[in-house]
A = this chain, B = another copy of it.
Amino acid sequence: MKSRLIASLLLATAAPAAAQTSITTLAPPVVADPRVAALRDNALHNDQYAWDIVEGLTTEVGQRLVATEAEARARDWAVRKLTAMGFSNVHVEPFEMPVWTRGFESAEIVSPFPQKLVVAALGYSGSTGPEGVTGEIVYFDSVDALRAAPDSAVKGKIVFIDHHMMPAQDGSGYGQFGAPRRQGPTIASLKGALGIVIRSIGTDHHRNPHTGVQYFTDGAKPIPAGALTVPDAEQLVRILKRGQPVVMHLTLASQKSEGGHSGNVVAEIPGRDPKAPILLVGGHLDSWDQGTGAIDDGAGVAITTAAAKHIMDAGRPLRTIRVVWFGAEEPGGFGGAALAKAHASDRYAIAGESDFGADRIWRFSSQLLKSDPAAYAQLTAVLAPLGITKNDKGEADGTDVDPTIQAGAPWISLNQDGTRYFDWHHTPDDTLDKIDPEQLRQNVAAWTAVLATLSGGIEPEPKRRSRR
């Protein structure tokens, strides 16, 4: 670039009045704050906090299904951990919600080719009871094909929705291709189906089914609803292609009850100015029950908490940093709604979350582009050395912070590379070994840079807090 720069300078000198754009006529350069860059690089090279959290949580608690005793143990673990790390005002903000748990599960082809397929109930599936149900399979290649079918084609049968989903860096596809899971069970139920199985919403080829939430709406009565693994769905398609009626015995003996408990775990680094708008970051503590919730979302709470801890280690920020380990995200953001309601009078300078695994952050976007262009330019400069590009067309995302953003908080999104994410998402394979420690540190470095940039300034404290 050096020779081009010199050429430009010479050109600018030689023809100062030319209409063409030259480097010297662009906006003034934005250079990253060297103190922020130093914090970023320390996190990038040395962070151990995030690994320590996600390794500890997934090992010492494991899966954390919402409203179960496992999620309660996770809250206890979180309070101990955050307190030991030196956070202030560590507490649980509880709320109630239903409990749904998985029971015995089996999907057996009875005829024409007897064999067992691997299935997992979708969240809030109806139960077959332990004896299961038996019905003929009726095939649809999309949720719209099911919607278009006459009731008579579906009634008393087990619906199978096939579909395709390819890996995408930005995770696009989950919205569209998640429809069979979100809408399929209700549509099938309203048409009188005995049950439904879908091809897992996933991009892998392992015998691990992808669960996930669905609700029966529009007056639909709950029916058994499960996800076959991708290889099993492909097997079912091959069996169906032989042209004979295919009969399945499906058992999804799940259970649901009211009156469960969940809650958000909240921790803070108190700012020097208690009245300054708050920086809100976090991830969700609950997980599905098949894996240990490492990428979804042990990593998210680990990354954002580690970033806050790096600020704490450097001193005291002007603004309060609030870290939230949200409860009950998987069933649809109960924790996020509870937080927004409980803190409706709080003012925020930013709200953001990490909930897309632990692979490298590749771009970011923020409302600050319009509301605070100088801060946005600073973020652009300090994130670029991590390989993170700005995305001026980005939008807010994140189930947990969404209600707070809807209530007026400015948003920031740091987008992880999602190419591998839907290989493991909501499966037994969501385990610690899927996290690459080097990419995890890049995540921590990015969030550290964001918090430092927006902190209002960090002042060294005369006496340091206890560290762990």
Contacts and interface: CB of A to CB of B under 8 A. Distances in A.
Interface of A: 55, 58-63, 70, 113-116, 118, 205-208, 230-231, 234-235, 238-239, 242, 290-292, 427-429, 431-434
B113 A431 contact: no
A375 to B, nearest CB: 41
B433 A205 contact: yes
Given A63-B115, A115-B292, 19 more contacts: A59-B113, A60-B113, A60-B242, A62-B113, A62-B115, A62-B116, A63-B116, A70-B115, A205-B431, A207-B290, A207-B427, A207-B428, A207-B429, A208-B208, A230-B433, A231-B429, A231-B431, A231-B433, A235-B432
Contacts of A62: 113-116, 235
A60 B242 CA distance: 9
A63 B115 CA distance: 7
Given A207-B431, A208-B206, A59 B235 contact: yes
Contacts of A231: 429, 431-433
8 contacts: A58-B235, A59-B238, A59-B242, A205-B433, A207-B428, A230-B433, A231-B433, A238-B432
A205 B431 CA distance: 9
A431 B228 CA distance: 14
Contacts of A61: 113, 115
A283 B131 CA distance: 39
A16 B58 CA distance: 75
Looking at A60, A113, A115, A208, the one whose CB has the most chain B CB atoms below 10 A away is: A115
A235 B431 contact: yes
Copies in the complex: 2
A321 to B, nearest CB: 30
Contacts of A290: 207
A427 B208 CA distance: 12
Nearest to A60: B113
Contact of A429 (B55, B206, B292, B427): B206
A263 B464 CA distance: 75
Contacts of A230: 433
A420 to B, nearest CB: 12
Looking at A59, A70, A242, the one whose CB has the most chain B CB atoms below 10 A away is: A59
Given A206-B206, A206-B208, A291-B207, A433 B234 contact: yes
Contacts of A234: 432-433
A282 to B, nearest CB: 24
A70 B230 CA distance: 23
Contacts of A208: 206-208
Looking at A55, A206, A235, A291, the one whose CB has the most chain B CB atoms below 10 A away is: A206
Q: Across the A-B interface, give the 10 residue pairs with the lowest CB-CB distance, nearest first.
A: A62-B115, A207-B428, A231-B431, A59-B238, A205-B433, A60-B113, A206-B206, A231-B433, A207-B429, A206-B429
A75 to B, nearest CB: 15
A70 B115 CA distance: 9
Nearest to A62: B115
Contacts of A433: 205, 230-231, 234
A118 B428 contact: yes
A372 to B, nearest CB: 43
A55 B238 contact: yes
A87 B242 CA distance: 24
Nearest to A434: B205
Contacts of A70: 114-115
A206 B70 CA distance: 23
A239 B59 contact: yes
A235 B70 CA distance: 17
Contacts of A429: 206-207, 231
Nearest to A204: B206
Contacts of A60: 113, 239, 242
A432 B232 CA distance: 10
A115 B434 CA distance: 19
A409 to B, nearest CB: 36
A208 B208 CA distance: 8
Contacts of A59: 113, 235, 238-239, 242
Nearest to A241: B59
A200 to B, nearest CB: 13
